């Protein structure tokens, strides 16, 4: 437990350590993310997911982007899981001389491991993402945006309480043109889920996210609202 909390303190310390030299300007925003998910468990080992998400920025007054994501996961053996996901993103470009919507697609590959240290349930996730603009080739100037991300998620089980707290921390490492550019972002998330039994599950989360290693880091506070429904074939 001591090691777990030390990890989160280190993540929180990234921002303060970066800010002490006074060499950059922070850009702050408040965003709202809402999503609906449909999950289908085809068997004990194979699952599929479909998600639609809408994100608002500029103090939650304007559309930032919306995306549709399909995913498939496979349980290798107890507590180890692989996942592949494909995301199609519509981005609202509302600045500059030419405005409108741009479209990206993103692949992600996950390797996850979960275990319990009662009353905690811990899940480690290593994710690789690669993102490109639709219809633009590398010769035309499109450069793949790649990240390697590690997330630690903690679920705290409180006996007799339906709103168990969830805490997670995630760190992003960026790769561009095959070059490791170092840590680019980190996230801290706190929230809870409420099981509606046969009607699905709803969740509400607060997230703090900040860019690293840039002269004008974006610092975002956001609220995420999520609804998910799961079907089982077994």
- pLDDT band for position 8 (cuts 50, 70, 90): low
Q: What is the pLDDT of residues 18-50, one digit of tens each?
A: 444 455 667 899 999 999 999 999 999 999 999
DSSP string, 59-83: TTTEEEEEEEEEEEEEEEETTEEEE
Residue 138 DSSP one-character state = G
Average pLDDT in the 157-181 region?
88
Q: What is the pLDDT of residue 138?
A: 73
How many other CB atoms sit within 10 Å of the CB of residue 27? Answer: 12
Its pTM surpasses 0.75? yes
130 Cβ contact list (under 8 Å, min separation 6): 106, 107, 144, 145, 146
CA distance 124 to 21: 33
**Please, what is the average pLDDT of the chain?**
88
Q: Is the peptide bond before 119 cis (omega within 30 degrees of 0)?
A: yes
Structure tokens at 20: 């002490």
Residues 6+ positions from 6 with CB-CB distance below 8 Å: none
In order of 34, 177, 198, the CA distances from 193 in angstroms are 14, 39, 15
Average pLDDT over residues 4-18: 53
Name which residue leads in pLDDT, 1 or 55: 55
Provide the token pair at 189.
């998330």
CB-based burial, 203-222: b 16+ in 10 Å, e otherwise: bebebbbbbbeeeebeebeb
Q: Is 47 exposed, middle or buried (0-12, 13-18, 19+ CB in 10 A)?
A: buried
Spatial contact of 224 and 191, defined as CB atoms under 8 Å apart: yes
Q: Give residue-wise pLDDT tens across range 135-159.
A: 887 777 778 889 999 999 999 988 8
Q: What is the mean pLDDT of residues 96-123?
A: 90
Alpha-carbon distance 51 to 68, whole Å? 6
Per the CB < 8 A criterion, the answer to whether 115 and 90 are in contact is no
């Amino acid at each position: 437990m001591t090691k777990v909390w030390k990890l989160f303190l280190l993540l929180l310390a990234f921002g303060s350590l970066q800010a002490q030299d006074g060499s950059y300007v922070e850009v702050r925003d408040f965003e709202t993310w809402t999503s609906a998910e449909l999950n289908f468990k085809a068997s004990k080992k194979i699952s599929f997911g479909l998600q639609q998400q809408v994100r608002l920025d500029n103090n939650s007054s304007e559309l930032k982007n919306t995306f549709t994501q399909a995913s498939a996961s496979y349980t290798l053996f107890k507590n180890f899981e692989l996942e592949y996901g494909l995301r199609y993103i519509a981005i609202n470009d509302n600045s500059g001389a030419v405005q409108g919507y741009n479209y990206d697609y993103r692949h992600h590959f996950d390797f996850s491991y979960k275990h319990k240290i009662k009353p905690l349930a811990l899940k480690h996730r290593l994710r690789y993402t690669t993102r490109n603009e639709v219809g633009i080739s590398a010769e035309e100037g499109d450069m793949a945006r790649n990240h390697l991300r590690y997330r630690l998620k903690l679920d705290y089980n409180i006996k007799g309480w339906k709103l168990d707290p969830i805490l997670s921390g995630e760190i992003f490492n960026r790769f561009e043109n095959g070059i490791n550019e170092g840590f680019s972002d980190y996230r801290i998330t706190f929230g809870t889920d409420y099981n509606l039994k046969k009607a699905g599950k709803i969740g509400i989360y607060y997230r703090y996210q900040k860019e690293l290693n840039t002269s004008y880091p974006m610092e975002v506070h956001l609220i995420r609202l999520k609804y998910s429904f799961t079907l089982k074939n077994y």
